[in-house]
A and B are shown apart, each in its own frame.
Chain A
Amino acid sequence: MSHSPALLSTLAAAATLMSLGCGDGARTEAERRTFGVAMTATPPTGPNEHGWTVTPEAAQVSVGAVRFFEGRVLLSRAPRFDWYSLIGGTAHAHPGHYVPGDALGEVLNVQTVDLLAGSDLGSANAVTGSYGSLELTLATPTAATDAQNVLGGHQVHVRGTATNATGATVHFDAAVDLPRAAIEGVRFERELKQEPGSVRIAVDLGKWLSRIDFATASPPDAAGISTFPADSQAQNALVRGVEDTSAYVVTWVEGAAQ
């Protein structure tokens, strides 16, 4: 059976009408785009939960892949085929109360970021769409990614001074390696089209350090520096602070150069 071009056109038009009539005509296809991603930090704004006022003097993190997803935090959505995978992207899905859903963009560079100075992570290869969250991967640094060895082989390094109301002062130097290197489900909700702009990830150092009782740090060494023993409350609290996804405030900066 053969159809004339006119008939095929009519069928297509009818099919379109049927589709529109069912209310699904507003969906648009995703388009490729890029946007810059930068990372910085905000300092603590007051005493932490144990009454310690902390002044960070150094904060570095080894950042790996940053992936943007459709799934909103605490939104579970069934995985489905995504055309983004056709252009080399990845789409992850797993059971649980946060399901990333479709991948919408990624930056794959591995680098050491000086959080107090801030740093560009690179340009995300992405698509337009409804963004809900991102995943921040912490990578084990190498000589190539941490030439000055500021991280000492760890994913996170933080150094500073903590004081409390009794006059106690702790000069601390601590490091973290997360049991699971991916910090999943960081909130980033935006309908992203082709508007110019970039993503800014601000690490809230107050959140990182908020639960630490610095009295549980080690006694100071000869240089006056205390560390966090592996089984100490301080280390436990620092790990939980770094894992806390609310410590990562992701915003869209309008108009920034792409």
Chain B
Amino acid sequence: MKQWLMGVSFLGLVACSSGQGNVTFTTYGEDFIEKEIPATAFADGWTVRYDKFLVKLGELKVANHEGETAAEQGPAKVYDVHRPGPVNVAAFTDLASEEWDEVSYAIAPATDATAGNAAGEDVTRMNTQGWSVYVEGTATKGTVSKRFRWGFPTDTLYEHCENEDIGNGVTVPKGGTETVQLTIHGDHLFFDDLQSPEAKMRFDAIAAADSVGVVGPDGEVTLEELGTVDLTSLPSNQYGTGGAGSVRTLRDFVTALVRTVGHYRGEGECSPRVR
């Protein structure tokens, strides 16, 4: 019996920790950012094409719910997820091959970020302007086109990352490498509700801001113009703010949506914490 018990104890040890493995993190903008968001995705028939989608990724951490940290990323880097991806963000080697159920990362306005796959001038601009996200593109409906170039200083920590189909965090394989994608969802900037699962993608109100804004209808919708559109001037069944009580204008609204672009392994989610 003693030998048998020793065997069980050994099995227990093996079950809890069985060697080492690697984890590679990538980031990817998917077709919506790399190619286009088609008219069929919008409730009001617009098509959006990004020319640039810069995100400043940092504070990547692999840990567990007991507070043990397996790996942490160094300084933040700037990625242009409009460029073909996925692109590597970090590679952690020789981690204990077990379940690390607390993965987190930040999209934050660090001022000393370096280049991931973004161009040098874009990195400099992101740091100088204090932006964490910058998007540039064109929305088109029929013969009408509206250009946008928006930079955001939002500071968001994405915690408790999980994918419903894969699980919480990441499980490090023994002797192998697990690849984890920090997926950026470019369609979220155009949702018409901050909380409802029935949110639709719209651009009409954003396009109209070009006409009522500061510099008149010049074909470009600026954040300043979006800031002149009070949400109460829009249909009451659109642009609902959920619990985000300080969101009053379309600029506030799009800025709040920027905090939702960070996802995990495709459709997986994290808990975005505003900082």
Contacts and interface: CB of A to CB of B under 8 A. Distances in A.
Nearest to A248: B243
A10 interface: yes
A235 B236 contact: yes
A32 interface: no
A73 B273 CA distance: 10
Contacts of A78: 162-164
Contact of B195 (A184, A207, A237, A239): A184
A170 interface: no
B242 interface: yes
B147 interface: no
Interface stretch (A91-99, A102-110, A193-201): A91-99
B97 to A, nearest CB: 13
A49 B273 CA distance: 27
B64 interface: yes
Interface in A190-234: 207, 211, 213, 233
Contact of A74 (B66, B232, B245, B272): B272
B240 A97 contact: no
Interface string B231-259: 11111110011111100100000000000
A21 B245 contact: no
B144 interface: no
A69 B269 CA distance: 18
A17 B16 contact: no
Nearest to B4: A10
A72 interface: yes
B243 A180 contact: no
B232 A23 contact: no
Chain B interface size, as a band, is: 35 or more
Interface string B200-233: 0000000000000000000000000000001111
A98 B243 CA distance: 10
A98 B255 CA distance: 17
A185 B271 contact: no
Interface string B1-32: 10001001101110110000000000000000
B232 A211 contact: yes
A30 interface: no
B52 interface: no
B12 A236 contact: no
Contact of A18 (B15, B160, B230, B237): B15
Contacts of A33: none
A21 B18 CA distance: 13
B197 interface: yes
Contacts of A211: 230, 232, 248
A200 B230 CA distance: 32
A78 B13 CA distance: 30
A18 B12 contact: yes
Contacts of A247: 245
Contacts of B15: 18, 21-22
Contacts of A77: 160, 162, 269
B196 interface: yes
A180 B11 CA distance: 54
Given A179-B237, A236-B232, A240-B232, A98 B245 contact: no
B199 interface: yes
B248 A95 contact: no
B181 interface: no
Given A14-B8, A18-B12, A78-B164, A96 B199 contact: yes
B246 to A, nearest CB: 8
Contacts of B1: 10
Contacts of A116: none
A185 B8 contact: no
A244 B196 contact: no
Given A96-B199, A237-B232, A240-B236, A14 B260 contact: no
A213 B248 CA distance: 14
Nearest to A133: B243
Given A180-B196, A245-B243, A14 B5 contact: yes
Given A21-B12, A236-B232, 7 more contacts: A10-B1, A17-B9, A18-B11, A18-B16, A49-B248, A98-B242, A179-B236
9 contacts: A10-B5, A11-B8, A14-B9, A95-B267, A99-B269, A233-B233, A236-B233, A236-B235, A239-B236
Interface of A: 10-11, 14, 17-18, 21-23, 49, 72-79, 94-99, 179-180, 184-187, 207, 211, 213, 233, 235-237, 239-240, 243-247
3 closest A-B pairs by CB: A96-B197, A76-B269, A245-B243
Interface of B: 1, 5, 8-9, 11-13, 15-16, 64, 66, 160, 162-164, 194-199, 230-237, 240-245, 248, 260, 267, 269-273
